[in-house]
Amino acid sequence: MIGISIANSLGFTGPSVLPDASSQAYFAATGITGVTQQTAINNLVKGLKADGIWSKMKAVYPFVTDNRNLLGYTEDFSNTAWGKVQNATVTTNTFTAPNGTLTADTITGTINSTNPTTSNGSKVFYHSGNNATIQAQNNTLTGSIYVYATTAITIQLFMYEWGGAEFGQSYTLSANTWQRISITSTFSGGTGNVGLAIQSNANTLYAWGAQLELGSTATTYQPIATTQQAYIASQFKYNLKDPRDLDAAFRLVFNGGWTHSSTGATPNGTNGYADTFYNPSASGQLNSAHVSYYSRTNSNGTEVEIGVERPITNFQLLEIRTAGLTYFYMNQGGGLGIADANSLGYYIGNRTASNVVNGFKNGTKINNASTSSILLPNAKIYLAAYNQSNNTAAAFSTKQSAFATIGDGLTDTDASNLYTRVQAYQTALSRQV
Amino acid sequence: MKLADITTEDITTLVGLLTEVQKDELVGVYYSADSIYNPIQDIDNNWVISTEEMIYTTNEDTLWVKDLNLVEYRPKPTPSPF
């Protein structure tokens, strides 16, 4: 009880355990407030500290998000993500929103349809299915939006599958007050994206704070300034060990094509990679180094998950399952691939001496070699590719990452404990493999 | 073929075709707050970007990428790093 009361006095509303200071800094940077996510991070950090592993970390990328709102531009209905019909026009930031800021939009238009459908264009405005982020499938979804009218009116809120099923619900609004209206429906099958639409017979309507989310409850509104992808990327980029939005803190900058979700960051295998800004020559040690990557994708192509090459043929990298072989190269130029039946799980490439290099998969040592170290690569480590000696990214990965680290060398016990902590973290987020 | 014509399944097989001038306009430019374009060359040395970069572009100065013609991606062979 003492721990809880202290935590609450600090304004911490997440896990019912005393939050770690490192976790607090991370939550402040990322804006993560979800209890599940905060608890998972807090337990991870406290576990790594208890195991003596935290101090060996230089960069920790947890790829965690508390994104719930599946819509974009949720306070900007003028954006093309929102379709406008019936001569509807949107004037942004012209009315005081429920949160007291001048961020609500004024929507004008004359609507006269009494039997609206998606196809007849009777909506005032709608979140285009082409810009939505979730398919109907068999999902139960809840859409919500804050609306305000100066006279009592009837309004319809619709949730629809683009080109498919549609659900509508009518509300009678009181005059001169903000009301949050919502609709919950379960789709049957359907691969079309889900959108949200409004129909109104008011000539002027004020709107703010649209939300679409999984489940049957309209939870606290979560603003998404631009896109859901940008929102998640803004949380994924932070290094848990040093959560400052700086290259010097080894924050990630994503390059090329990525898709971000609650299960991790997925590079497209075409041109997607992330720059860690971590240069082993500047920040690492030749004979004490590790890199790790939690892969949620089973593949077998020529893909590097994390690494750098400098100069030519001197590598620090993890290449998970190319033609059935996984490679652990730590400041070296040669080494054998290890037979690997799949590319799922948590991989650690590790060096603890000039002639000791090993590799772990899911806590088990699968590589134990005496390959000599050569040099510390003098260039930045890339994630989901490697920073090739000709200064380009190469061997783009398709493997979704749910966790990755860079740091000092780990003992066998450290590697085993790290896997245990990371797997518990993934399990807490329901995304373990 | 344009973005509006494709399905989710097409996203991984199609890329947006760039001219040399367009490629130069995108190098080092952010397409959203924390993400940078990465034009690459396909097997025929055409400059292309991924459909993800096109779809997720929020940069007002580069919204023109959403109107790029889409072509099937034919990658250059990926040599082993070693």
Closest CA to A322 of A399, A257, A404, A402: A399
CB contact under 8 A, A270 and B53: no
In terms of pLDDT, which residue wins out, A225 or A13?
A: A225
Residue where a domain stops, chosen among A214, A248, A269: A214
Using a CB-CB cut-off of 8 Å, the residues of chain A touching B82 are 313, 315, 327, 329, 334
Contact A157, A184 (CB under 8 A): no
Classify residue A266: in a domain, yes or no: yes
Omega of the bond leading into A377 within 30 degrees of 0 (cis)? no
Classify residue A237: in a domain, yes or no: yes
Model confidence over B25-79: pLDDT tens digits? 999 999 999 999 999 999 999 999 999 999 999 999 999 999 999 999 999 998 8
Look at residue A6 in the predicted model and tell me its pLDDT.
38
For residue A115, what pLDDT band results from cuts at 50, 70 and 90?
Answer: very low
pTM score: 0.91
A264 and A380 assigned to the same domain = yes
Model confidence over A175-216: pLDDT tens digits? 999 999 999 999 987 778 888 888 877 778 899 999 999 999
Residue A89 CB partners (closer than 8 Å, separation 6+):
A107, A108, A109
Residue where a domain stops, chosen among A152, A187, A214: A214
For residue A110, what pLDDT band results from cuts at 50, 70 and 90?
Answer: low
A277 and A366 assigned to the same domain = yes
Read out DSSP for A355-409? TEEEEEETTEEEEEE-PPP-----S--EESSEE-TTSSEES---PPEEEEEEES-
A155-159, A160-164, A221-225, range with the lowest pLDDT: A160-164
Classify residue A223: in a domain, yes or no: no
In terms of pLDDT, which residue wins out, B79 or A254?
A: A254
A107 and A174 assigned to the same domain = yes
Query: Residues in chain B, how many?
Result: 82
Look at residue A200 in the predicted model and tell me its pLDDT.
76
* Option in B50, B58, B80 nearest A322 (CB): B80
Contact B71, B15 (CB under 8 A): yes
A321 and A266 assigned to the same domain = yes
Count CB atoms within 10 A of the CB of residue B77. 6
Contact A117, A166 (CB under 8 A): yes
Classify residue A356: in a domain, yes or no: yes
DSSP assignment letter at B28: T
Count of domains for chain A: 2
For residue A113, what pLDDT band results from cuts at 50, 70 and 90?
Answer: very low
Mutate to test the interface with A, among B31, B34, B47 (most CBs of A within 10 A): B34
- Quote the domain boundaries for residue A380: 2-67+231-428
For residue A355, what pLDDT band results from cuts at 50, 70 and 90?
Answer: very high
Look at residue A9 in the predicted model and tell me its pLDDT.
38
Average pLDDT over residues A116-129: 52
In terms of pLDDT, which residue wins out, B5 or B78?
A: B78
A289 and A419 assigned to the same domain = yes
CB contact under 8 A, A255 and B37: yes
A393 and A314 assigned to the same domain = yes
CB contact under 8 A, B34 and A226: no
For residue A128, what pLDDT band results from cuts at 50, 70 and 90?
Answer: low
